[in-house]
Structure 1
Amino acid sequence: MGTYFSNKSFFLFRAFLTGRTFLTGLVLVWAGLVYSPAGAQQETPPAQQDAPVEEITQEEEDSQQQLVNALLSLSESLQARRERLDALTVEFGALEDDIDKTAQEAEIEGLGEEIVQAEQEIDLVVLGLQARQYTIDGTVTEKTELKDEVAKIFEPIIQSLKRATEPARRMEELRLLAEQAESRITVADLTLENLNIYRSAETEYPAEVQERLDRYLEIWAERLQESENLALALDEQLANAKRAQGNSFKQFSQDFGNFIINRGTSLFLALGLGIGFLLLCQGIHMIAAYYYRRSHDGVLSAAMRVFAMMLSIIGVVGGFMIAITIFNIRHDWLMLAMSLLLGLGISWTFVRSLHSLLEQARVLLNLGAIREGERTVINGIPYKIERLSVYSKFYNPVLKGGNLIYPVHELLGMHSRPVIKGEVWFPTEIGDWIVRDGHHYQVMDQTPEHVILQKPGGAEDFVPVAEFLGTLFEVITNGYCAKYRFGLDYKHLSDAREIIPKKISAAVKARVEKELGKGAIIAIDTRFIAMGDSSLLFDVMVDLGPGYGKHWRRMQKYINCAVADMCLENTWTIPFPQLVIHKGA
């Protein structure tokens, strides 16, 4: 009753189904953000949360002490670098050689970079990675450009993504920094090994070279110690971050509860009211379609289809607007931004596929080349178009599985014509007897894909429909004509016109009625048709009624036996074919 209307609303989504890659990604992002525990609409203030006081274990005390030791070591290294920088600055002012000044200036610049790096490492040990987020979140800038204003609208989405992935990103960054520290330790060890090779050699170096070796050894020893301290501090921070994750099930329960209380309520109201409005419009469709089809022979007019499509548009757009209004009233800016983004995606894909959608709309309004209630041909098989909708229904009454469902976009380019009363929907029906390529078959099954033919002995042939329809065959279920030809000698020419045909017809009729019963023969005719090269030719034609198709092959036997009996009874001679031999000169 309401197939057309219940499916009609899906046509409106064809616009964005063509852009399924974009929208699939959008839906996945939406699903992730909806459950983001950090993106809940309202969060419990920290002051109202009861923070349980846990006892500090010995492991945590050792960890804290290791962090303190690492901080002290890094501070000493920083102080030593600063003292070294002050000393180099004083020496740089006393130098007069340009080459020495250039080398000294490069060393001072490198030492300054190391001091900055050491200060950053101390900040990392003391504050941790989370301190960086403070200055990022607190940055507020005035934006006046259109693209920046659009970015502000979708800023909650980005922020929710960042908050949802912050713990994982922090852990990954700590791992990367720890790997860098281990790499520095390896480089420092290799460098110190190279320096010790020269120091262990029993060679007197010039004073300048010896001083350079000692200075390099001191610098790289400090770098090794710094890298080891930093690696230790990063390992401790990584371990603390893992311990800080706490009970996963408890955190999940808390996040899920916040979702249900805040964003879950908004989603429930928005989806419930939006879908409810859409179902209301669909209910009006179904009721209107039911009463209209009852009074118009089951076919919808173009005006009724336009009315149905308008109600479908109102249902979809109205449901979407209701959802946006709910998010706006409940101040759920994240879901509001996601809804707007979804609307933009739908609009974009709708515009891109506008031409195709207009053609499909013509088909759904029953104004195209293919129309409801008419006859069309699909893969060589005729079908009746029972229903035109987003998923249209085609039906063939004589085929098993003759119900086909086609999406509306595959109907473009198809044609139909009005159905003529009494016309055939398939050449055969299940149970029919046919003669194909000189063989006798019964049709056991027929579907849109294949036809199963059974021989009288029980063997079956599976024939594809295209091959079956491409060959000539004779359906003999409702009656057929059995033919038989024989010849007699020329000495019976005087009886060929009347006597022989009458006797043959009587004999054949008697034999067939004996085997098949009276009423089997509708008509019988024996004719003298020609004077052949060596005999007089006669044709016996027996017309049988419906229900005798399975006796087609036996009929040849019955006629042959009747003709043979009459030849013996009347001493008619059946000549052999004459063979003429010409003797050469």
Structure 2
Amino acid sequence: MNREGKNKSLVKSLQDTIEGWKKQQAFMQSELHAAQLELDKLVSSETSIAEASQSYLKSFFQKRGLYLIEALLVVAAVVLLSRLSYAGMSKYLPGFRRRHRSFRVRLIELIHRLLTVLLIVLGPTTVFYLVEDWVLFSLSILLLIGILWTLRQALPRYWHQIQLFLNIGSVREGERVVFQGLPWNVQQINLFCTLVNPVANLKQRVPINDLVDMRSRPSEKSEPWFPCRQDDWVILNDGTRGKVTGISPEMVQLVQRGGAILTYQTSDFLANSPQNLSPSFRLKETLGISYALQKESTSTIPDILHQYILKRIEQEGYAEQLVNLRVEFALANNSSLDLVVMADFKGELGDLYNRLRRAIQRWCVDACSENGWEIPFPQMTLSGSLVKPGQ
């Protein structure tokens, strides 16, 4: 009996243990099932990168992106209306297209430009306010505050630019200004100003800000703008002679006889004081004759030499380009009596400058040979006394 009671107690304990493990098994199976369901849900919710991007862009454009597009459309509408109104003013407003416009026309254009900028800045801000997107609205307000702060720092310079734009500043249309070492005529003042050099045939466009610190003045018709034009023949201080084939604000190019090309910086070219042969030029050549011809040197010989050189000029085909020819007594030199031949030629013979100089010397020598005039050579005179040997 005692043994049977112990067996019953053991069986009951084992049954209780089995029941506990079964409950534990059921609980773990339930947890496993829930985890499997959660895993299946996560796997089913996964999408590709392209699908995720499309979904994100769709969400963006449906919300904030749409507001940005509306703001951009407002800006585009303002720009379009500004262009149309500007075209209308240039067509119907008297004097709007003139090269030198009145103060009233300039003021109207300035107000138009300022109003356009103001509407471009305030338009998107208004859109963000109306759609109640406070993030974009706050960002636009911060941007506007930054712009106003920048304008506060740069206001004095912008004020000078406004004065220039209205043609009441230190640089005015139609006047002369020196820019980058060259004189320029201020042809037009706008946001980008047009400067021209009428002689050098140069033209450049510069922003109005570059003219703020400059001064212009009215120019006279007689004032020079550049020492030469393209295709002119010039002689520089160092004796270089060439034809000007190119002029720019930075460089001047010359071509010498024979085809050699020389290039100068414009500042260096001007520093060499170019002599322009193209309008006309003068050649001065000296001829020395003997003191034995002292009496005739101031009377008949200059006339004879003048006629002879004139005849030779006609023979060699330079008569049409000759402007003036003079032969005069110049100087009683140490060893000779000097005559000077002055010949003025038209600029179309500028390329023959040195050839004409040599020709005049040749004609002078031929005249001396034909008329028997002696051309002396330099002589040295010694003065003193001779001492006899033994004295």
Fold match by TM threshold 0.5: yes
Cα deviation for residue 451 of structure 1 reads: 0.8
Cα deviation for residue 494 of structure 1 reads: 2.1
RMSD of Structure 2 on Structure 1 (CA): 2.7
Task: Tell me the equivalent position of 1:361.
Answer: 162
Q: 3-state DSSP class of the match of 1:548? A: helix
In structure 1, distance between residues paired with 2:55 and 2:198: 60
The more displaced of 420-429 and 484-493 is 420-429
In structure 1, distance between residues paired with 2:46 and 2:285: 97
Paired residue for 1:407, among 207, 217, 222?
Answer: 207
Are 1:418 and 2:218 an aligned pair?
yes
Cα deviation for residue 294 of structure 1 reads: 4.5
**Deviation >6 Å, runs of 4+:** none
* Pair 448,306 (structure 1): closer, same or farther in 2 beyond 3 Å: same
| Deviation by residue 1:106-163 (Cα, 9 ceiling, x = unmatched) | xxxxxxxxxxxxxxxxxxxxxxxxxxxxxxxxxxxxxxxxxxxxxxxxxxxxxxxxxx
The aligned amino acid for 2:317 is: L
In structure 1, distance between residues paired with 2:178 and 2:306: 46
Map 1:169-568; keep pairs closer than 5 Å: 246-289=47-90, 294=95, 297-399=98-200, 402-421=202-221, 423-436=223-236, 437-568=238-369
Q: TM (normalized to structure 2)?
A: 0.81
In structure 2, distance between residues paired with 1:547 and 1:337: 74
| Deviation by residue 1:202-260 (Cα, 9 ceiling, x = unmatched) | xxxxxxxxxxxxxxxxxxxxxxxxxxxxxxxxxxxxxxx9xx98522221122222233
In structure 1, distance between residues paired with 2:67 and 2:240: 72
In structure 1, distance between residues paired with 2:98 and 2:193: 18
Cα deviation for residue 290 of structure 1 reads: 5.3
* Pair 311,439 (structure 1): closer, same or farther in 2 beyond 3 Å: closer
Tell me if the contact between 2:195 and 2:204 (Cα under 8 Å) persists in the aligned partners.
Answer: yes
Task: Tell me the equivalent position of 2:381.
Answer: 580
Q: Which structure carries more helix by proportion?
A: 1
Cα deviation for residue 540 of structure 1 reads: 0.4
Q: 3-state DSSP class of the match of 2:294? A: helix
Tell me if the contact between 1:511 and 1:558 (Cα under 8 Å) persists in the aligned partners.
Answer: no
Tell me if the contact between 2:335 and 2:378 (Cα under 8 Å) persists in the aligned partners.
Answer: yes
Q: Which structure carries more strand by proportion?
A: 2
Cα deviation for residue 286 of structure 1 reads: 4.1
Task: Tell me the equivalent position of 2:13.
Answer: none
Q: 3-state DSSP class of the match of 1:496? A: helix
| Deviation by residue 1:144-189 (Cα, 9 ceiling, x = unmatched) | xxxxxxxxxxxxxxxxxxxxxxxxxxxxxxxxxxxxxxxxxxxxxx
| Deviation by residue 1:51-110 (Cα, 9 ceiling, x = unmatched) | xxxxxxxxxxxxx99xx9xxxxxxxxxxxxxxxxxxxxxxxxxxxxxxxxxxxxxxxxxx
Structure 2 unaligned spans of 5+: 1-30, 36-41
Percent identity over the alignment is 27
Q: 3-state DSSP class of the match of 1:503? A: helix
Task: Tell me the equivalent position of 1:221.
Answer: none
Cα deviation for residue 297 of structure 1 reads: 4.3
Q: Which has the higher contact order (CA 8 A, sep 6+)?
A: 1
In structure 1, distance between residues paired with 2:101 and 2:339: 62
| Deviation by residue 1:335-391 (Cα, 9 ceiling, x = unmatched) | 222211211111121122222222222222211111122221112211122222222
* Pair 399,247 (structure 1): closer, same or farther in 2 beyond 3 Å: farther
* Pair 516,332 (structure 1): closer, same or farther in 2 beyond 3 Å: farther
In structure 2, distance between residues paired with 1:344 and 1:558: 80
Q: 3-state DSSP class of the match of 1:413? A: coil
* Pair 490,582 (structure 1): closer, same or farther in 2 beyond 3 Å: closer
Q: 3-state DSSP class of the match of 1:353? A: helix
* Pair 526,286 (structure 1): closer, same or farther in 2 beyond 3 Å: same
In structure 2, distance between residues paired with 1:479 and 1:403: 27
Cα deviation for residue 573 of structure 1 reads: 0.6
Cα deviation for residue 412 of structure 1 reads: 1.8
Structure 1 unaligned spans of 5+: 1-63, 69-240
Cα deviation for residue 296 of structure 1 reads: 7.8
Tell me if the contact between 2:95 and 2:105 (Cα under 8 Å) persists in the aligned partners.
Answer: no
Cα deviation for residue 563 of structure 1 reads: 0.9
Task: Tell me the equivalent position of 1:123.
Answer: none
In structure 2, distance between residues paired with 1:503 and 1:284: 80
In structure 1, distance between residues paired with 2:240 and 2:141: 69
